[in-house]
Structure 1
Protein backbone atom coordinates (compact mmCIF):
# COMPACT_ATOMS: atom_id res chain seq x y z
CA UNK A 1 0.00 0.00 0.00
CA UNK A 2 1.31 3.48 -0.88
CA UNK A 3 2.11 5.85 1.94
CA UNK A 4 -0.24 8.87 2.22
CA UNK A 5 2.61 11.23 1.32
CA UNK A 6 3.36 9.33 -1.90
CA UNK A 7 -0.33 9.14 -2.80
CA UNK A 8 -0.75 12.90 -2.27
CA UNK A 9 2.20 13.62 -4.55
CA UNK A 10 0.67 11.48 -7.25
CA UNK A 11 -2.63 13.38 -6.91
CA UNK A 12 -0.85 16.74 -7.22
CA UNK A 13 1.23 15.48 -10.11
CA UNK A 14 -1.91 14.19 -11.81
CA UNK A 15 -3.56 17.61 -11.43
CA UNK A 16 -0.41 19.23 -12.84
CA UNK A 17 -0.55 16.98 -15.92
CA UNK A 18 -4.28 17.70 -16.37
CA UNK A 19 -3.62 21.46 -16.36
CA UNK A 20 -0.72 21.16 -18.81
CA UNK A 21 -2.67 18.85 -21.12
CA UNK A 22 -5.76 21.06 -21.04
CA UNK A 23 -3.76 24.15 -21.95
CA UNK A 24 -2.14 22.24 -24.78
CA UNK A 25 -5.55 21.15 -26.11
CA UNK A 26 -6.88 24.71 -25.95
CA UNK A 27 -3.78 25.92 -27.80
CA UNK A 28 -4.27 23.34 -30.58
CA UNK A 29 -7.91 24.38 -30.92
CA UNK A 30 -6.84 28.05 -31.21
CA UNK A 31 -8.96 28.94 -28.18
CA UNK A 32 -6.14 30.79 -26.42
CA UNK A 33 -5.18 34.27 -27.67
CA UNK A 34 -1.75 34.32 -29.31
CA UNK A 35 -0.35 36.60 -26.59
CA UNK A 36 -1.28 34.22 -23.77
CA UNK A 37 -0.41 31.21 -25.87
CA UNK A 38 3.25 32.31 -26.04
CA UNK A 39 3.29 32.73 -22.28
CA UNK A 40 1.38 29.66 -21.10
CA UNK A 41 3.05 27.25 -23.54
CA UNK A 42 6.66 28.18 -22.84
CA UNK A 43 9.76 26.84 -21.13
CA UNK A 44 9.45 29.65 -18.56
CA UNK A 45 6.06 28.41 -17.43
CA UNK A 46 7.46 24.88 -17.36
CA UNK A 47 10.03 26.05 -14.81
CA UNK A 48 7.30 27.73 -12.77
CA UNK A 49 5.15 24.60 -12.88
CA UNK A 50 8.03 22.36 -11.82
CA UNK A 51 8.80 24.83 -9.05
CA UNK A 52 5.26 24.63 -7.73
CA UNK A 53 5.37 20.84 -7.87
CA UNK A 54 8.72 20.86 -6.02
CA UNK A 55 7.27 22.97 -3.20
CA UNK A 56 4.30 20.60 -2.93
CA UNK A 57 6.76 17.72 -2.81
CA UNK A 58 8.61 19.28 0.12
CA UNK A 59 11.63 20.77 -1.67
CA UNK A 60 10.82 24.38 -0.84
CA UNK A 61 14.16 26.00 -1.63
CA UNK A 62 14.45 24.49 -5.09
CA UNK A 63 10.81 25.23 -5.87
CA UNK A 64 11.13 28.91 -4.98
CA UNK A 65 14.32 29.26 -7.03
CA UNK A 66 12.71 27.67 -10.10
CA UNK A 67 9.64 29.90 -9.80
CA UNK A 68 11.86 32.99 -9.49
CA UNK A 69 13.95 32.01 -12.53
CA UNK A 70 10.90 31.18 -14.64
CA UNK A 71 9.14 34.40 -13.63
CA UNK A 72 12.28 36.42 -14.33
CA UNK A 73 12.43 35.25 -17.93
CA UNK A 74 8.67 35.75 -18.33
CA UNK A 75 8.80 39.47 -17.53
CA UNK A 76 10.17 40.50 -20.99
CA UNK A 77 7.24 38.61 -22.57
CA UNK A 78 4.73 40.62 -20.56
CA UNK A 79 6.12 44.13 -20.83
CA UNK A 80 8.86 46.21 -22.40
CA UNK A 81 11.85 46.52 -20.11
CA UNK A 82 13.88 49.75 -20.29
CA UNK A 83 17.47 49.24 -21.41
CA UNK A 84 18.92 50.38 -18.09
CA UNK A 85 16.90 47.77 -16.23
CA UNK A 86 17.75 45.03 -18.74
CA UNK A 87 21.44 45.70 -18.12
CA UNK A 88 21.10 44.76 -14.45
CA UNK A 89 18.72 41.85 -15.01
CA UNK A 90 21.22 39.03 -14.54
CA UNK A 91 22.86 40.58 -11.45
CA UNK A 92 19.41 41.01 -9.89
CA UNK A 93 18.56 37.38 -10.61
CA UNK A 94 21.83 36.19 -9.05
CA UNK A 95 21.22 38.34 -5.96
CA UNK A 96 17.64 37.02 -5.68
CA UNK A 97 18.80 33.39 -5.77
CA UNK A 98 21.46 34.19 -3.17
CA UNK A 99 18.90 35.82 -0.87
CA UNK A 100 16.60 32.79 -1.19
CA UNK A 101 19.44 30.44 -0.25
CA UNK A 102 20.41 32.58 2.74
CA UNK A 103 16.85 32.95 4.01
CA UNK A 104 15.98 29.27 3.68
CA UNK A 105 19.28 28.17 5.20
CA UNK A 106 18.85 30.67 8.04
CA UNK A 107 15.39 29.34 8.84
CA UNK A 108 16.85 25.83 9.08
CA UNK A 109 19.42 27.00 11.62
CA UNK A 110 16.66 28.41 13.81
CA UNK A 111 14.34 25.43 13.33
CA UNK A 112 16.43 22.39 12.53
CA UNK A 113 14.64 19.97 10.22
CA UNK A 114 15.33 16.34 11.04
CA UNK A 115 15.37 13.75 8.27
CA UNK A 116 11.95 12.13 7.72
CA UNK A 117 13.28 8.69 8.68
CA UNK A 118 14.99 9.84 11.90
CA UNK A 119 13.51 8.63 15.16
CA UNK A 120 14.17 10.19 18.54
CA UNK A 121 14.73 6.69 19.85
CA UNK A 122 17.66 5.98 17.54
CA UNK A 123 20.78 4.84 19.33
CA UNK A 124 22.99 7.21 17.32
CA UNK A 125 22.45 10.95 17.10
CA UNK A 126 22.68 12.42 13.59
CA UNK A 127 25.80 14.36 12.65
CA UNK A 128 26.58 16.69 9.78
CA UNK A 129 27.81 13.83 7.59
CA UNK A 130 24.69 11.72 8.14
CA UNK A 131 22.36 13.96 6.13
CA UNK A 132 23.30 16.18 3.16
CA UNK A 133 21.57 19.06 1.40
CA UNK A 134 23.29 19.66 -1.95
CA UNK A 135 22.53 22.18 -4.69
CA UNK A 136 24.33 22.46 -8.06
CA UNK A 137 23.51 24.83 -10.91
CA UNK A 138 25.53 25.11 -14.13
CA UNK A 139 28.26 22.89 -12.76
CA UNK A 140 29.21 19.51 -11.37
CA UNK A 141 30.24 17.95 -8.10
CA UNK A 142 31.45 14.60 -6.76
CA UNK A 143 30.77 13.89 -3.08
CA UNK A 144 32.24 11.09 -0.96
CA UNK A 145 30.07 9.98 1.98
CA UNK A 146 31.41 7.62 4.66
CA UNK A 147 28.75 8.16 7.35
CA UNK A 148 28.21 5.16 9.63
CA UNK A 149 24.64 6.28 10.38
CA UNK A 150 23.50 7.50 6.98
CA UNK A 151 20.01 9.02 7.01
CA UNK A 152 19.77 10.38 3.46
CA UNK A 153 19.58 13.89 2.08
CA UNK A 154 18.38 16.28 -0.61
CA UNK A 155 20.17 16.99 -3.86
CA UNK A 156 19.25 19.41 -6.65
CA UNK A 157 20.94 19.54 -10.06
CA UNK A 158 19.92 22.30 -12.47
CA UNK A 159 21.87 22.32 -15.76
CA UNK A 160 24.55 20.34 -13.94
CA UNK A 161 25.31 17.06 -12.27
CA UNK A 162 26.17 15.52 -8.90
CA UNK A 163 27.56 12.11 -8.04
CA UNK A 164 27.60 10.63 -4.54
CA UNK A 165 29.91 7.78 -3.57
CA UNK A 166 28.18 5.93 -0.71
CA UNK A 167 30.06 2.62 -0.98
CA UNK A 168 31.74 3.10 2.40
CA UNK A 169 28.61 4.36 4.17
CA UNK A 170 26.32 2.39 6.47
CA UNK A 171 22.58 2.95 6.67
CA UNK A 172 20.82 4.02 9.86
CA UNK A 173 18.55 1.56 11.63
CA UNK A 174 15.56 3.06 9.79
CA UNK A 175 17.25 3.10 6.39
CA UNK A 176 17.68 6.30 4.40
CA UNK A 177 15.69 8.60 2.12
CA UNK A 178 17.24 10.73 -0.63
CA UNK A 179 15.12 13.41 -2.33
CA UNK A 180 16.39 14.29 -5.83
CA UNK A 181 15.52 17.04 -8.27
CA UNK A 182 17.21 16.77 -11.67
CA UNK A 183 16.29 19.56 -14.10
CA UNK A 184 18.31 19.47 -17.32
CA UNK A 185 20.89 17.64 -15.20
CA UNK A 186 21.58 14.39 -13.42
CA UNK A 187 22.09 12.77 -10.02
CA UNK A 188 24.27 9.68 -9.71
CA UNK A 189 24.80 7.33 -6.75
CA UNK A 190 27.44 4.64 -6.20
CA UNK A 191 26.02 2.23 -3.61
CA UNK A 192 27.14 -0.83 -1.63
CA UNK A 193 26.08 -4.04 -3.40
CA UNK A 194 23.81 -5.33 -0.62
CA UNK A 195 21.58 -2.25 -0.31
CA UNK A 196 17.95 -2.54 -1.39
CA UNK A 197 16.88 0.48 -3.46
CA UNK A 198 13.26 1.58 -3.70
CA UNK A 199 12.51 3.92 -6.61
CA UNK A 200 9.95 6.70 -6.07
CA UNK A 201 11.29 9.12 -8.72
CA UNK A 202 8.77 10.85 -10.99
CA UNK A 203 10.20 11.59 -14.45
CA UNK A 204 9.04 13.83 -17.30
CA UNK A 205 11.26 13.61 -20.37
CA UNK A 206 13.78 12.12 -17.97
CA UNK A 207 14.52 8.79 -16.41
CA UNK A 208 15.65 6.58 -13.56
CA UNK A 209 18.28 3.92 -14.23
CA UNK A 210 19.64 1.20 -11.97
CA UNK A 211 22.81 -0.14 -13.59
CA UNK A 212 23.78 -2.41 -10.71
CA UNK A 213 22.09 -5.49 -12.16
CA UNK A 214 24.92 -6.38 -14.52
CA UNK A 215 27.57 -5.72 -11.85
CA UNK A 216 26.18 -7.50 -8.79
CA UNK A 217 25.92 -11.02 -10.28
CA UNK A 218 25.38 -13.36 -7.31
CA UNK A 219 25.18 -10.69 -4.59
CA UNK A 220 21.77 -10.64 -2.89
CA UNK A 221 20.37 -7.36 -1.55
CA UNK A 222 19.48 -7.12 2.14
CA UNK A 223 15.86 -5.93 2.77
CA UNK A 224 16.93 -4.54 6.17
CA UNK A 225 19.20 -2.09 4.34
CA UNK A 226 16.73 -0.06 2.34
CA UNK A 227 17.43 3.22 0.57
CA UNK A 228 14.43 5.12 -0.80
CA UNK A 229 15.23 7.45 -3.69
CA UNK A 230 12.39 9.82 -4.51
CA UNK A 231 12.02 13.10 -6.31
CA UNK A 232 11.48 14.57 -9.74
CA UNK A 233 13.46 14.42 -13.00
CA UNK A 234 12.68 16.65 -15.98
CA UNK A 235 14.96 16.54 -19.02
CA UNK A 236 17.44 14.82 -16.72
CA UNK A 237 17.90 11.59 -14.85
CA UNK A 238 18.77 9.69 -11.70
CA UNK A 239 21.30 6.87 -12.01
CA UNK A 240 22.24 4.08 -9.58
CA UNK A 241 25.44 2.09 -10.02
CA UNK A 242 27.89 -0.05 -8.08
CA UNK A 243 31.23 0.78 -9.75
Structure 2
Protein backbone atom coordinates (compact mmCIF):
# COMPACT_ATOMS: atom_id res chain seq x y z
CA UNK A 1 0.00 0.00 0.00
CA UNK A 2 2.78 2.42 0.92
CA UNK A 3 4.58 1.65 -2.33
CA UNK A 4 1.43 2.50 -4.28
CA UNK A 5 1.02 5.79 -2.41
CA UNK A 6 4.64 6.67 -3.14
CA UNK A 7 4.02 6.07 -6.83
CA UNK A 8 1.10 8.51 -6.78
CA UNK A 9 3.10 11.15 -4.92
CA UNK A 10 5.99 10.77 -7.34
CA UNK A 11 3.77 11.20 -10.38
CA UNK A 12 2.20 14.34 -8.90
CA UNK A 13 5.57 15.98 -8.28
CA UNK A 14 6.25 18.94 -10.56
CA UNK A 15 9.01 18.45 -13.09
CA UNK A 16 11.36 21.27 -12.13
CA UNK A 17 13.94 20.26 -14.73
CA UNK A 18 11.40 20.65 -17.53
CA UNK A 19 10.36 24.08 -16.24
CA UNK A 20 13.97 25.21 -16.02
CA UNK A 21 14.62 24.12 -19.61
CA UNK A 22 11.52 25.94 -20.86
CA UNK A 23 12.62 29.05 -18.97
CA UNK A 24 16.09 28.95 -20.51
CA UNK A 25 14.65 28.51 -24.01
CA UNK A 26 12.33 31.49 -23.51
CA UNK A 27 15.23 33.61 -22.22
CA UNK A 28 17.34 32.77 -25.28
CA UNK A 29 14.50 33.45 -27.71
CA UNK A 30 13.60 36.72 -25.98
CA UNK A 31 17.25 37.80 -25.98
CA UNK A 32 17.62 37.11 -29.69
CA UNK A 33 14.42 38.98 -30.49
CA UNK A 34 15.62 41.93 -28.41
CA UNK A 35 19.05 41.99 -30.08
CA UNK A 36 17.37 41.83 -33.48
CA UNK A 37 15.77 45.23 -32.84
CA UNK A 38 19.17 46.92 -32.77
CA UNK A 39 21.02 47.59 -35.99
CA UNK A 40 24.41 47.21 -34.28
CA UNK A 41 24.13 43.44 -34.40
CA UNK A 42 23.67 41.39 -37.53
CA UNK A 43 21.74 38.18 -36.93
CA UNK A 44 21.43 35.89 -39.96
CA UNK A 45 17.92 35.30 -41.20
CA UNK A 46 18.24 31.51 -41.23
CA UNK A 47 18.29 31.45 -37.44
CA UNK A 48 14.56 32.23 -37.46
CA UNK A 49 13.66 29.47 -39.93
CA UNK A 50 11.78 26.28 -38.96
CA UNK A 51 14.92 24.03 -38.82
CA UNK A 52 16.21 26.04 -35.87
CA UNK A 53 13.01 25.43 -33.94
CA UNK A 54 13.31 21.71 -34.63
CA UNK A 55 16.80 21.75 -33.09
CA UNK A 56 15.50 23.62 -30.04
CA UNK A 57 12.59 21.19 -29.68
CA UNK A 58 14.90 18.17 -30.02
CA UNK A 59 17.34 19.43 -27.40
CA UNK A 60 14.48 20.25 -25.04
CA UNK A 61 12.95 16.78 -25.38
CA UNK A 62 16.34 15.09 -24.98
CA UNK A 63 17.26 17.07 -21.87
CA UNK A 64 13.88 16.47 -20.23
CA UNK A 65 14.08 12.69 -20.74
CA UNK A 66 17.85 12.35 -20.13
CA UNK A 67 18.33 11.64 -23.85
CA UNK A 68 16.67 8.22 -23.55
CA UNK A 69 14.12 8.81 -26.32
CA UNK A 70 15.59 8.66 -29.80
CA UNK A 71 13.01 11.10 -31.19
CA UNK A 72 15.19 13.99 -30.02
CA UNK A 73 18.04 12.85 -32.27
CA UNK A 74 15.71 12.67 -35.29
CA UNK A 75 14.52 16.24 -34.70
CA UNK A 76 18.05 17.59 -34.22
CA UNK A 77 19.27 15.75 -37.34
CA UNK A 78 16.48 17.16 -39.51
CA UNK A 79 16.98 20.62 -38.02
CA UNK A 80 20.73 20.58 -38.64
CA UNK A 81 20.23 19.46 -42.24
CA UNK A 82 17.76 22.27 -42.87
CA UNK A 83 19.96 24.84 -41.11
CA UNK A 84 23.02 23.89 -43.17
CA UNK A 85 20.94 24.11 -46.34
CA UNK A 86 19.83 27.65 -45.43
CA UNK A 87 23.15 28.89 -44.01
CA UNK A 88 25.61 27.66 -46.65
CA UNK A 89 25.02 28.98 -50.18
CA UNK A 90 25.30 26.36 -52.89
CA UNK A 91 24.65 23.45 -50.51
CA UNK A 92 21.48 21.88 -51.86
CA UNK A 93 20.42 19.20 -49.42
CA UNK A 94 16.83 20.32 -49.01
CA UNK A 95 15.59 17.57 -51.32
CA UNK A 96 17.25 14.97 -49.07
CA UNK A 97 15.54 16.04 -45.86
CA UNK A 98 12.20 14.32 -46.38
CA UNK A 99 13.60 10.99 -47.64
CA UNK A 100 16.13 11.00 -44.80
CA UNK A 101 13.42 11.76 -42.26
CA UNK A 102 11.23 8.91 -43.52
CA UNK A 103 14.17 6.47 -43.40
CA UNK A 104 15.11 7.49 -39.85
CA UNK A 105 11.52 7.24 -38.63
CA UNK A 106 11.24 3.76 -40.17
CA UNK A 107 14.46 2.59 -38.48
CA UNK A 108 13.32 4.09 -35.20
CA UNK A 109 9.99 2.24 -35.32
CA UNK A 110 11.70 -1.08 -36.18
CA UNK A 111 14.29 -0.82 -33.40
CA UNK A 112 11.71 0.43 -30.91
CA UNK A 113 9.36 -2.53 -31.25
CA UNK A 114 11.62 -4.86 -29.24
CA UNK A 115 11.46 -2.49 -26.27
CA UNK A 116 7.78 -1.66 -26.25
CA UNK A 117 4.54 -3.02 -24.87
CA UNK A 118 4.50 -6.63 -23.72
CA UNK A 119 8.16 -7.26 -24.60
CA UNK A 120 9.39 -4.38 -22.46
CA UNK A 121 7.12 -5.29 -19.53
CA UNK A 122 8.09 -8.96 -19.75
CA UNK A 123 11.81 -8.12 -19.72
CA UNK A 124 11.37 -5.77 -16.74
CA UNK A 125 9.39 -8.38 -14.79
CA UNK A 126 11.97 -11.11 -15.45
CA UNK A 127 14.83 -8.82 -14.37
CA UNK A 128 12.96 -7.76 -11.24
CA UNK A 129 12.01 -11.31 -10.22
CA UNK A 130 15.54 -12.58 -10.82
CA UNK A 131 17.23 -10.00 -8.60
CA UNK A 132 14.55 -10.02 -5.92
CA UNK A 133 14.88 -13.81 -5.64
CA UNK A 134 18.69 -13.60 -5.61
CA UNK A 135 18.80 -11.06 -2.78
CA UNK A 136 16.16 -12.99 -0.83
CA UNK A 137 18.37 -16.09 -0.99
CA UNK A 138 21.36 -14.07 0.25
CA UNK A 139 19.34 -12.66 3.14
CA UNK A 140 18.01 -16.07 4.17
CA UNK A 141 21.51 -17.57 4.01
CA UNK A 142 23.24 -14.96 6.19
CA UNK A 143 20.53 -13.74 8.55
CA UNK A 144 17.94 -16.47 8.82
CA UNK A 145 18.50 -19.74 10.67
CA UNK A 146 15.65 -22.26 10.68
CA UNK A 147 14.61 -23.51 14.11
CA UNK A 148 14.20 -27.08 12.98
CA UNK A 149 16.18 -27.66 9.79
CA UNK A 150 14.88 -30.51 7.66
CA UNK A 151 17.12 -32.82 5.65
CA UNK A 152 17.14 -32.05 1.96
CA UNK A 153 15.78 -34.72 -0.35
CA UNK A 154 16.74 -35.32 -3.98
CA UNK A 155 13.38 -33.91 -5.01
CA UNK A 156 14.28 -30.70 -3.21
CA UNK A 157 17.56 -30.54 -5.13
CA UNK A 158 15.73 -30.66 -8.41
CA UNK A 159 13.25 -27.96 -7.46
CA UNK A 160 15.66 -25.66 -5.64
CA UNK A 161 17.28 -24.13 -8.69
CA UNK A 162 17.41 -20.50 -9.65
CA UNK A 163 13.76 -20.40 -10.76
CA UNK A 164 11.72 -17.90 -8.73
CA UNK A 165 8.51 -19.22 -7.13
CA UNK A 166 5.37 -18.89 -9.22
CA UNK A 167 2.71 -16.52 -7.95
CA UNK A 168 -0.58 -18.50 -7.89
CA UNK A 169 -2.64 -15.30 -7.94
CA UNK A 170 -0.98 -13.88 -11.06
CA UNK A 171 -3.34 -13.42 -13.97
CA UNK A 172 -2.23 -14.72 -17.38
CA UNK A 173 -1.10 -12.17 -19.96
CA UNK A 174 -3.25 -11.92 -23.06
CA UNK A 175 -2.73 -10.08 -26.32
CA UNK A 176 -5.20 -7.35 -25.34
CA UNK A 177 -3.34 -6.48 -22.14
CA UNK A 178 -0.82 -4.34 -24.03
CA UNK A 179 -1.54 -1.69 -26.62
CA UNK A 180 0.68 -1.19 -29.65
CA UNK A 181 -0.85 1.34 -32.05
CA UNK A 182 1.18 2.79 -34.93
CA UNK A 183 -0.28 5.25 -37.42
CA UNK A 184 1.68 6.76 -40.32
CA UNK A 185 -0.27 8.93 -42.76
CA UNK A 186 -3.46 7.24 -41.59
CA UNK A 187 -5.65 6.48 -38.61
CA UNK A 188 -6.01 3.78 -35.96
CA UNK A 189 -9.11 3.09 -33.87
CA UNK A 190 -8.97 0.48 -31.10
CA UNK A 191 -11.28 -0.66 -28.33
CA UNK A 192 -9.56 -2.34 -25.38
CA UNK A 193 -11.58 -5.06 -23.63
CA UNK A 194 -8.88 -6.39 -21.30
CA UNK A 195 -9.66 -6.48 -17.58
CA UNK A 196 -5.91 -6.56 -16.88
CA UNK A 197 -4.72 -3.70 -19.09
CA UNK A 198 -1.04 -2.91 -18.53
CA UNK A 199 -0.40 0.04 -20.83
CA UNK A 200 1.39 0.24 -24.14
CA UNK A 201 2.66 2.52 -26.89
CA UNK A 202 1.02 4.88 -29.37
CA UNK A 203 3.03 6.21 -32.32
CA UNK A 204 1.55 8.74 -34.74
CA UNK A 205 3.47 10.22 -37.67
CA UNK A 206 1.13 12.44 -39.69
CA UNK A 207 -1.68 10.24 -38.41
CA UNK A 208 -4.17 9.83 -35.62
CA UNK A 209 -5.28 7.27 -33.04
CA UNK A 210 -8.49 6.81 -31.07
CA UNK A 211 -8.25 4.49 -28.06
CA UNK A 212 -11.40 3.45 -26.19
CA UNK A 213 -10.65 2.22 -22.65
CA UNK A 214 -14.19 2.46 -21.26
CA UNK A 215 -14.57 -1.34 -21.21
CA UNK A 216 -11.07 -2.01 -19.87
CA UNK A 217 -9.86 -2.28 -16.29
CA UNK A 218 -6.51 -1.61 -14.63
CA UNK A 219 -4.94 -2.37 -11.28
CA UNK A 220 -2.63 0.29 -9.87
CA UNK A 221 -0.53 2.55 -12.09
CA UNK A 222 -0.40 1.96 -15.86
CA UNK A 223 1.81 3.88 -18.30
CA UNK A 224 0.75 4.77 -21.83
CA UNK A 225 3.72 6.00 -23.89
CA UNK A 226 2.74 8.40 -26.69
CA UNK A 227 5.06 9.57 -29.45
CA UNK A 228 3.51 11.70 -32.17
CA UNK A 229 4.62 14.16 -34.82
CA UNK A 230 1.96 16.10 -36.74
CA UNK A 231 -0.85 13.88 -35.53
CA UNK A 232 -3.35 13.49 -32.74
CA UNK A 233 -4.57 11.03 -30.12
CA UNK A 234 -8.00 10.70 -28.55
CA UNK A 235 -8.25 8.61 -25.38
CA UNK A 236 -11.61 7.66 -23.86
CA UNK A 237 -11.34 6.51 -20.24
CA UNK A 238 -13.82 5.42 -17.54
CA UNK A 239 -15.00 8.30 -15.32
CA UNK A 240 -13.50 6.89 -12.11
CA UNK A 241 -9.92 6.62 -13.46
CA UNK A 242 -7.24 9.12 -12.57
CA UNK A 243 -5.23 10.45 -15.51
CA UNK A 244 -1.80 12.01 -14.98
CA UNK A 245 -0.04 13.66 -17.92
CA UNK A 246 3.76 13.74 -18.06
CA UNK A 247 3.88 14.43 -21.79
CA UNK A 248 6.48 16.74 -23.31
CA UNK A 249 4.43 18.94 -25.64
CA UNK A 250 6.10 21.13 -28.27
CA UNK A 251 3.65 23.33 -30.19
CA UNK A 252 1.01 20.94 -28.87
CA UNK A 253 -1.18 20.38 -25.85
CA UNK A 254 -3.18 17.96 -23.73
CA UNK A 255 -6.90 18.76 -23.65
CA UNK A 256 -8.78 17.11 -20.78
CA UNK A 257 -12.46 17.22 -21.71
CA UNK A 258 -13.75 14.89 -19.02
CA UNK A 259 -16.81 15.93 -17.04
CA UNK A 260 -15.79 17.21 -13.62
CA UNK A 261 -17.41 15.31 -10.76
CA UNK A 262 -17.38 15.85 -7.02
CA UNK A 263 -14.80 13.69 -5.28
CA UNK A 264 -11.49 12.22 -6.35
CA UNK A 265 -11.01 9.29 -8.66
CA UNK A 266 -10.02 5.79 -7.68
CA UNK A 267 -6.47 5.84 -6.28
CA UNK A 268 -6.00 2.26 -7.43
CA UNK A 269 -6.67 3.07 -11.10
CA UNK A 270 -4.15 5.56 -12.45
CA UNK A 271 -3.35 6.07 -16.12
CA UNK A 272 -0.06 7.92 -16.68
CA UNK A 273 0.57 9.53 -20.08
CA UNK A 274 4.23 9.83 -21.00
CA UNK A 275 6.12 10.55 -24.19
CA UNK A 276 6.52 13.36 -26.71
CA UNK A 277 3.95 15.31 -28.73
CA UNK A 278 5.17 17.68 -31.46
CA UNK A 279 2.69 19.73 -33.50
CA UNK A 280 0.05 17.30 -32.27
CA UNK A 281 -2.56 17.12 -29.55
CA UNK A 282 -3.89 14.65 -27.02
CA UNK A 283 -7.57 14.70 -26.11
CA UNK A 284 -8.93 12.91 -23.03
CA UNK A 285 -12.64 12.16 -22.85
CA UNK A 286 -15.07 10.10 -20.83
CA UNK A 287 -18.65 8.95 -21.37
TM over 0.5: yes
**1:90-169 map, 5 Å:** 90-105=98-113, 108=115, 113-114=120-121, 120=128, 123-124=170-171, 129-132=176-179, 134-169=181-216
Structure 1 contact 118–151 (Cα < 8 Å) conserved: no
- Specify which of 88, 91, 101 is matched with residue 81 of structure 1: 91
- Secondary structure in 2 matching 1:213: coil
Task: Tell me the equivalent position of 2:16.
Answer: 7
Total equivalences in the alignment = 232
TM-score, normalised to structure 1, is 0.72
In the alignment, structure 1 residue 198 sits paired with structure 2 residue 244: yes
Bigger radius of gyration among the two: 2
2:210 and 2:245 mapped to 1: Cα distance? 17
Q: 1:50 deviation in Å?
A: 1.7
Q: 1:190 deviation in Å?
A: 0.9
Structure 1 contact 182–238 (Cα < 8 Å) conserved: no
Task: Tell me the equivalent position of 1:71.
Answer: 80
- Secondary structure in 1 matching 2:238: coil
In the alignment, structure 1 residue 221 sits paired with structure 2 residue 265: yes
Runs of 5+ consecutive residues of structure 2 not aligned to the other structure: 1-8, 130-166
Compared CA separation, residues 232 and 143, structure 1 to 2 (3 A): same
2:248 and 2:98 mapped to 1: Cα distance? 31
Structure 2 contact 182–188 (Cα < 8 Å) conserved: no
Runs of 5+ consecutive residues of structure 1 not aligned to the other structure: none
1:30 and 1:156 mapped to 2: Cα distance? 45
What are the Cα deviations for residues 16-68 of structure 1, in whole angstroms up to 9, with x where unaligned?
A: 33333333333344565342x422x2221222222222233436132222223
Q: 1:118 deviation in Å?
A: 7.2
In the alignment, structure 1 residue 52 sits paired with structure 2 residue 59: yes
RMSD: 3.7
Compared CA separation, residues 47 and 134, structure 1 to 2 (3 A): farther
In proportion to residue count, which structure has more helix?
A: 2
**1:30-41 map, 5 Å:** 33-35=42-44, 37-39=45-47, 41=48
Compared CA separation, residues 28 and 101, structure 1 to 2 (3 A): farther
What are the Cα deviations for residues 193-220 of structure 1, in whole angstroms up to 9, with x where unaligned?
A: 2212223345454332222207xx6897
